[in-house]
Amino acid sequence: MVSGEIYLAYFPYGDVPAWKLRPVLLLTPPIGPVPELLVAYITTVLPAAALPSDLILDPTNAEQVSLGHFTLGMAEFHLHHDDAAYEHMRQATISSPQNGFAWQWLSAIDALHGRTEQARMNLAEYQKRFPGHTVGRLKASEYSRHSAFWQERNRFYEGLKLAGLPE
């Protein structure tokens, strides 16, 4: 497995006992005693029957465009390129205002950079789409136990706490 290559992987889906097949971009080689990878989703869930053929991304499909910006934004954030991450998340919300998780990341980045009022406004947009989420609930949904992942993810969660997301 090589960083920068695209692979197909199965991931748990929500709280149901089901797995979804997703194309992912490998961001790190396998690391740790129990090998873990940092990956970025690159498209929405597709039926397995569609995967043997070519995948076509439609630049006129607002959801695909939004997801692309969201994925790039997460990667930029983990690389500490917060300005670039913020711009991608902003573009994600412009392409699809219903992309609640982009509002969440905007909120965290704003809070980490002292833009308290903007952080709260973005958090409110996120909470309209996902009421009741807490930092603890989000942390519990993470499957990685690797310290490098958690170092960056904890920075994100700290931003959400500063923005006002309950623990």
Write down all domains in the chain, each with its CATH number in brackets.
1-47 (no CATH), 61-167 (1.25.40.10)
pTM: 0.67
The pLDDT value given to residue 49: 56
Average pLDDT, the chain: 82
Kindly tell me if the per-residue pLDDT of 51 is higher than 60. no
pLDDT by residue (tens digit) across 121-155? 999 999 999 999 999 999 888 887 778 788 888 99
How far is residue 23's CA from residue 26's CA, in Å, rounded to a whole number? 10
Q: Which residues contact 141 (CB under 8 A, 6 or more apart)?
A: none
